[in-house]
């Protein structure tokens, strides 16, 4: 009898509930704690008064300013607390530094020319730091009494932002000119920035550091790293090494399994001949329109990115027409981000329906009608949100900007009405998927592949609820918590699980691995992703006015997120060899009909593993430890990680989904292996070039600038518009051109031009033999 140990325990599906339950309960408890602290430890939004009790900025001014910030989508130009876009300044860092400058100027203007002037100026600098740190907040009247120097600085700050938004000749002025002209709106906006600077500078009650742990780095304002930032960085590193050692130890025990352990009991892999004979049913044929629209949206998303980069380098005039006036960066970047989520979601919805019909060929009635309903609601949603993102910041829909325009949150830009519609799409999606898979779901086999697809889908819907809680009048710190609950939990927890499930399905249907092997991988990945991903959300809150406990969780669990990505990389080499191993076993002898049929699709799946490790893992890890993130937060290193992870992982998977389904839908003569292979290498090499020629070196340079001068300068127009930084941005065109012209454009042409080359629908009375075989293998 084999020795009983922990590995054997984990490999027994009957015992899978306990580890998953323990991890989920612990993780959920941690997230709940962060949520409670978000509300109980959030900085107040006070009324700021002078020593004479005259109102400088009221609480209503601050909240109105936050709404103005969202209405004009300024989070897609600059950032608050480091969250947002990097083209413009971080408004909290900028406002804090400007206040410091104005306060110093106020006191220095009172110094007379005498022998001790230099000594007095140094004393002024220390006095300014002390006033910035002093917390004079009184809870009973919700007021903060400002010093005379702070009142003077607040007045000057209003003038400063009036110049930024209304005077084109002002240094660092917003482009295009006249974007915001209303004096009351600018004053309210300034009060919001003032509040953000106050939160970053003033000491948290009972502590020796600010609400944001002295972020951003600005020694002139008294902001330097805290001891907790350094301590938890060390503990986080130790936790990673310890956790990685344990997981690799047990993985080493599992590695005794050779390739046959993965391929044993797998169905015969699908050959080119079987793909040619495959006949889609009505459900599968109905999914093509999702891929048609998705690939077009991919193209528009890339175009919006190109327009955004043009604005970065000021190359906006064409034939005497300034495109930034019609399409300001707040619009193009919002399109670029939101369309990335929408086209990838459309791919996954279409692919899940296609797979649903493979898993359970006998579909319930009205499935096609439900799929068509989802599609047309999605079309309305995309069109409405696309228009709203343009109309809202341009002020063309007035007070309806929140419902019909741009909510103003990065990654959650679409207006509230369109967000509700997205929720409806997801709900109908889940219901349709459940109806289609229900016949093959087994109550006594909760870990079967069909069940995993349903679990992941319903989890995605559940997380969308978080996006409906905050309003424009919700404390920004609290609202940003709910924004990250959507963005992070989707991207780094449940989407990762969904990704693993979908890849697993592709591998089984292709005949590369057995369902048992895939189910085990999905389960272990779920344990690791949920174990690290749920609590890993806390690394987004290091500097967003949370207590030390949140930083501690982030330092440990964010670094642990590297572990599942390392394990996926260890498996990537094995998976990359499987087609050749199985082909040799099939004895193809050069006969094309016996060759592995999904060679081009498989390339994209291998790329998902590569970018999971490099883009999400390596480029994510270097910015996750608190001490590194303290200086990095709000720089291009975040942009670098975001592009590599989002396009590298989810983009490649979405393209794999499109091509997998379309290869089975298209007539054989319509399939273009060389075009697809060239597109694959163009997209992935182009993405690598964008990383190594621009995003990474720009991020490193910006990081170094933060350590030398402070974040305010590294995000200032003087730095962003400097020759060196602009040169790096121009270099992005090399990778971007290869990505777009060599990859995106050919793929769009291929998918769209093949609309007339779909195979005929399979008669209802006939079930294709390939489907029968696939259904038997993937059912349990």
DSSP assignment of 413-428: EE-HHHHHHHHHHHHH
pLDDT averaged over 10-residue windows placed end to end, the chain, 780 residues: 58 79 87 93 97 96 97 96 95 98 93 69 91 96 97 98 93 91 97 98 96 97 96 91 78 55 56 86 95 97 94 80 90 95 92 88 90 96 96 93 94 93 93 90 73 80 83 94 84 69 79 74 75 80 93 86 70 62 56 72 88 87 93 96 92 94 94 96 98 97 97 97 95 96 98 93 58 44
Strands 406-409 vs 83-84: parallel, antiparallel or unpaired: unpaired
Classify the C-alpha dihedral 541-546-551-552 as positive or negative.
negative
CA distances from 418 to 20, 332, 421, 459, 468 (A): 35, 18, 5, 20, 12
- Residue 712: asked if its preceding bond is cis (omega within 30°), the reply is no
What is the model's pLDDT at position 729?
94
Please tell me the distance from the alpha carbon of residue 650 to that of residue 575, in angstroms, as a whole number.
Answer: 19
Strands 47-49 vs 55-57: parallel, antiparallel or unpaired: antiparallel
Total H helices, total E strands in the chain = 35, 10
What is the model's pLDDT at position 490?
67
What is the model's pLDDT at position 770?
42
Distance of alpha carbon 547 from its chain centroid, rounded?
24
Give pTM, 2 decimals. Answer: 0.92
Nearest partner of 342 among 306, 378, 376, judged by Cα: 378
Q: What are phi and psi of 56, to 5 degrees?
A: -95, -55
Please tell me the distance from the alpha carbon of residue 158 to that of residue 165, in angstroms, as a whole number.
Answer: 11
């Amino acid at each position: 009898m084999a020795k009983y140990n922990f590995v054997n325990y984990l490999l027994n599906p009957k015992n899978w509930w306990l580890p998953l339950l323990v991890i989920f309960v612990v993780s959920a408890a941690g997230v709940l704690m962060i949520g409670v602290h978000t509300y109980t430890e959030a900085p107040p939004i006070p009324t700021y008064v002078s020593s004479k009790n005259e109102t400088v900025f009221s609480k209503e001014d601050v909240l109105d300013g936050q709404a103005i910030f969202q209405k004009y989508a300024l989070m897609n130009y600059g950032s608050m607390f480091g969250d947002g876009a990097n083209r413009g300044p971080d408004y909290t860092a900028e406002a804090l530094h400007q206040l410091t400058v104005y306060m110093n100027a106020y006191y220095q203007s009172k110094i007379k020319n005498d022998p001790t002037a230099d000594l007095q100026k140094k004393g002024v600098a220390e006095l300014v730091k002390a006033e910035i740190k002093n917390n004079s907040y009184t809870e009973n009247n919700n007021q903060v009494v400002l010093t005379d120097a702070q009142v003077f600085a607040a007045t000057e700050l209003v003038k400063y932002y009036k110049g930024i938004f209304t005077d084109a000749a002002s240094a660092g002025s917003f482009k295009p000119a006249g974007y915001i002209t209303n004096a009351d709106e600018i004053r309210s906006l300034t009060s919001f920035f003032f509040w953000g600077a106050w939160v970053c500078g003033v000491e948290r009650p009972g502590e020796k550091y600010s609400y944001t742990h002295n972020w951003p780095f600005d020694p002139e304002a008294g902001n330097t790293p805290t001891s907790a930032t350094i301590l938890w960085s060390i503990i986080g590193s130790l936790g990673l090494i310890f956790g990685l050692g344990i997981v690799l130890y047990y993985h080493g025990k599992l590695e005794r399994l050779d390739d046959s352990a993965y391929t044993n009991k797998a169905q015969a892999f699908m050959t080119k001949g079987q793909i040619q004979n495959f006949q889609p049913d009505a459900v599968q044929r109905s999914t093509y329109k999702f891929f048609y629209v998705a690939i077009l949206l991919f193209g528009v998303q890339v175009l919006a990115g190109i327009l955004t980069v043009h604005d970065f380098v000021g190359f906006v005039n064409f034939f005497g027409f300034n495109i930034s006036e019609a399409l300001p960066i707040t619009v193009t970047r919002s399109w670029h981000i939101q369309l990335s989520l929408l086209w990838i979601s459309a791919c996954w919805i279409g692919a899940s329906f296609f797979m649903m019909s493979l898993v359970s060929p006998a579909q319930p009635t009205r499935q096609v009608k439900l799929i068509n309903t989802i599609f047309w609601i999605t079309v309305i949603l995309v069109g409405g949100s696309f228009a709203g993102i343009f109309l809202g910041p341009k002020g063309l829909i007035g007070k309806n900007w929140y419902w019909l325009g741009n909510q103003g949150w990065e990654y959650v830009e679409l207006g509230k009405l369109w967000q509700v519609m997205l929720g409806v799409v997801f709900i109908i999606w889940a219901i349709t998927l459940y109806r289609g898979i229900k016949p093959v779901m087994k109550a006594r086999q909760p870990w079967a592949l069909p069940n995993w697809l349903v679990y992941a889908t319903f989890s995605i819907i559940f997380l969308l609820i978080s996006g409906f809680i905050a309003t424009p009048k919700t404390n920004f710190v609290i609202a940003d918590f709910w924004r990250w609950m959507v963005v992070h939990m989707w991207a780094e927890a449940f989407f990762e699980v969904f990704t693993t499930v979908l890849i697993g399905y592709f591998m089984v249907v292709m005949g590369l691995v057995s369902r048992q092997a895939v189910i085990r991988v999905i389960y272990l990945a779920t344990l690791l992703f949920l174990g690290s991903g749920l609590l890993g959300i806390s690394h987004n809150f290091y500097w967003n006015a949370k207590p030390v406990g949140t930083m501690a969780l982030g330092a440990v669990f964010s670094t642990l997120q590297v572990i599942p990505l390392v394990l996926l990389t260890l498996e990537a080499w094995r998976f990359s060899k499987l087609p050749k191993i199985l082909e040799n076993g099939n004895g193809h002898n050069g006969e094309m009909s016996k060759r592995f049929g999904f060679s081009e699709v498989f390339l994209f799946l291998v790329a998902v593993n590569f970018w999971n490790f490099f883009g999400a893992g390596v480029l994510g890890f270097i910015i996750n430890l608190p001490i590194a993130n303290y200086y990095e937060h709000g720089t291009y290193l975040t942009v670098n990680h975001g592009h590599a992870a989002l396009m590298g992982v989810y983009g490649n998977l979405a393209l794999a989904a499109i091509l997998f389904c379309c290869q089975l839908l298209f007539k054989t003569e319509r399939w273009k292996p060389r075009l697809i292979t060239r597109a694959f290498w163009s997209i992935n090499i182009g993405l690598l070039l964008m990383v190594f020629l621009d995003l990474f070196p720009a991020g490193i340079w910006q990081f170094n600038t933060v350590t030398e001068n402070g974040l305010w300068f590294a995000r200032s127009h003087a730095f962003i518009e400097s020759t060196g930084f602009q040169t790096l941005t121009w270099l992005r065109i090399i990778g971007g051109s290869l990505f777009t012209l060599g990859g995106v454009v050919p793929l769009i042409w291929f998918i769209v031009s093949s609309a007339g080359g779909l195979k005929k629908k399979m008669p209802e009375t006939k079930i294709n033999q390939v489907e029968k075989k696939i259904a038997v293998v993937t059912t349990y």
